[in-house]
Amino acid sequence: MARQELARFLRERREALGPEESGFPRGAIRRVPGLRREEVAELAHISVDYYTRLEQARGPRPSDRVLEGLAQAMRLAPAERSHLFRLAGSAVPPGAGAVRRVRPHVARMLRRLPGTAAIVTDAGYGVVAWNPLARRLLGGDLGTGAANLARRRFLGTGGRMYGSSGAEEFGHVVVARLRRAVDRYPHDAALAALLAELRAGSEEFRQIWETRPVHAPGHRTKVLDHPTVGTLRLNCDVLLVPEDDQEVVLITADPGSPSARALEELSAGRP
């Protein structure tokens, strides 16, 4: 157990939390930045004395239950939660569930990408953020908050999916990511329901699942048949948001190509 490092991490995280975002009034006088120790202890369901000793690097090794309570009280991202457990000398247990909210700065970034269709997907391939060009390009339920690329790929529901060039490979990419997700979030009810739906509705999904594919995100070229601008040859690149186990998918076309001109038309809302 790294007592000094754990104490420093707890102090820094407590001081970075705003009272309002944790449900406490800021009040007229607040002598410390962020939350008070008693407020963190209340949120974590532990005694103030115990939490104080942890911050002063003189407390006993905290149990997994205490660490989980602190992680929730301090609103730690998955990477920060893992760091907390490691500092306490404990094995990192699976997370309670996939992160299905998108960080504001990531959402703002999507709107600053001219000529690029961009979406953010969670660990279960749910689309949690998108920009207007992505909505015009991919259509269907994108924009409703219910879009899921795994359902589109294997069940054919929710909207347009890539054509024959890239569809088979994408199927293996989807299954590889879902396998990682179920290992990380074994208690995520929404993820379990999605997997049951895919197993029940797709023989192809069941077959690929048994092969245990391993794929890493990266650059891929795909073909999409769009109802108004025709067949598009698109470049797909993935940026990781590791602290939330999310991926930013950037969809572009080669400069000067017919597909690039089609994306410009879609971006302008002309079709």
Residue with tokens 């991490």: 9
**For residue 1, is pLDDT > 90?**
no
Reading the block at residue 224, the tokens are: 């999409």
Could you give the domains of the chain? 3-87 (1.10.260.40), 104-268 (3.30.450.180)
* pLDDT tens-digit map of 179-211: 999 988 888 899 999 999 999 999 999 999 999
- List, for residues 11-54, the tens digit of each pLDDT value: 999 888 877 666 776 665 667 778 889 989 999 999 999 999 99
Mean pLDDT of 63-89: 88
Mean pLDDT in the chain? 87
Q: What is the Cα–Cα distance from 110 to 118, expressed in whole angstroms?
A: 6
Q: What is the pLDDT of residue 242?
A: 82
Residue with the two structure tokens 């962020």: 34
Residue 160 has pLDDT above 80, yes or no: no
* Residue pointed to by tokens 């001109």: 261
Contacts 24+ apart (CB under 8 A), 202-206: 202/154, 202/155, 204/154, 204/171, 205/154, 205/171, 205/175
For the cut 90, the answer to whether the pLDDT of residue 163 exceeds it is no
Higher pLDDT, 19 or 238: 238
Q: Which residue has the higher pLDDT, 128 or 25?
A: 128
151 pLDDT band (50/70/90 cuts)?
very high
Select, from the ranges 5-19, 30-44, 93-107, 156-170, the one with the highest average predicted confidence (pLDDT).
5-19
Q: Given a cut of 70, is residue 162 above it in pLDDT?
A: no
Cα gap 117→256, rounded to integer Å: 17
Q: What is the pLDDT of residue 26?
A: 64
According to the model, what pLDDT value does residue 232 have? 93
Instruction: Please say if the pLDDT value at position 118 is more than 90.
Output: yes
Q: What is the model's pLDDT at position 150?
A: 95
What is the model's pLDDT at position 96? 67
Cα(19)–Cα(31) distance, rounded to whole angstroms? 13
